[in-house]
Amino acid sequence: MQRKGKRGKRKMTEGKADFSLFSFLFPLRRYLELYALFFVQRLKIFLEYRISFLIGASSTFVVQAAGLFSIWAIMRIVPNVVGWSFDQVLLLYGMVTLARSFEHMFADNLWTLGRHHIRDGSFDRFLVRPINPLFHLFADRFNHDGIGNFIIGLVVVIRSSLALQIEWNLEKVVCMVLAALGGGLIFIALNLITCVSAFWIIDSTPITLGVHEWHEFARYPLSMYSSNIKNALTFIIPYGLVSYYPALFVLGRDSSFLAFASPFMGVGLMLLGYALWNVGLRRYGSTGS
């Protein structure tokens, strides 16, 4: 790559030069327009493979339904797990699914960064264009499979909160919205932090999966687990902030500040992930082939 002429080299660095932390945020309008362009391109692919699109979006639906059905089958007999009713557990489940759907829809490319882009050198494509490479990676592939997760998460949250007859007020609504958006950020950020390892070890999927898998804990009340696991899910791999603490607040069981912590944690982890990403980018030397 470096042997290319002066022009080529300058182009490379233009894409790569945006290393300052907030460069991601400033040209917001341009990036939104660009995202729309990428999105339309993806849409054309979906229209080309319509059946596949429908099956893909509904397939996540079926997998989630299987999990929910199992919980229902048990809790129809025993309606109480560490003091949580079926509808309350459902609320946790829905909140995790909803937050996860943002990562699934908007940041799915992180999963295969190493396998599909770094290994064969096609990651160069993200560097030679005059936009932020990370943005490019996100925008390159909107994953429609995540829509199924989004819908089922939303439906489950609404259904359970109706069944629980939650008395909504502004605080609770804000808490829920922040939990979903901040939770989405936590999901994306943890995947970003782990996927950066692809710059060193090429296939980062096992590492990402190893951390991602912890979100399974957050589908149930954290009080079910030992205090070590509970603390880990609150402070280290903070998926607990996505569901458990906001749910405690919305259900009126507890009003800890942790209920509102997910956006802060999300943004913090994103910044950390972005810093690591930039370290990785500097290390990236293409495949040389």
224 counts as binding other proteins under rule CB under 8 A: yes
Q: Are 107 and 191 in contact (CB under 8 A)?
A: yes
* b (16+ CB within 10 A) / e for 79-98: eebeebbbbbbbbbbbbbbb
44 counts as binding other proteins under rule CB under 8 A: no
Q: Which of 37, 173, 177, 209 binds other proteins (CB under 8 A)?
A: 209
Long-range CB contacts for residues 1-5, cutoff 8 Å, separation at least 24: 1/124, 1/286
Q: Choose between 198 and 270: whose C-beta lies nearer to other proteins.
A: 198
Structural tokens at position 176 = 């829920």
Burial of 283 (0-12, 13-18, 19+ CB in 10 A): exposed
- Closest approach, Cβ 240 to other proteins, in A, equals 13
Q: Choose between 174 and 209: whose C-beta lies nearer to other proteins.
A: 209
Helices assigned H by DSSP within the chain: 6-16, 28-48, 50-75, 86-106, 124-127, 133-140, 145-163, 170-195, 198-201, 205-212, 227-231, 244-250, 262-283
76 counts as binding other proteins under rule CB under 8 A: yes
Q: How far apart are CA 117 and CA 126, in angstroms?
A: 9
Task: Count the residues of the shown chain that bind other proteins, applying the rule CB under 8 A.
Answer: 43
- Closest approach, Cβ 120 to other proteins, in A, equals 15
119-178 residues near other proteins, rule: CB under 8 A: 145
201 counts as binding other proteins under rule CB under 8 A: yes
Q: Which of 171, 210, 255, 282 binds other proteins (CB under 8 A)?
A: 210
206 counts as binding other proteins under rule CB under 8 A: yes
257 counts as binding other proteins under rule CB under 8 A: no
Q: Choose between 35 and 61: whose C-beta lies nearer to other proteins.
A: 61
Give the residue carrying structure tokens 């939650």. Answer: 166
* Residues lying near other proteins in the complex (CB under 8 A): 49, 51-52, 54-56, 58-67, 69-70, 73-74, 76-78, 80-82, 145, 201-203, 206-207, 209-210, 213-214, 216-217, 220, 224-226, 229
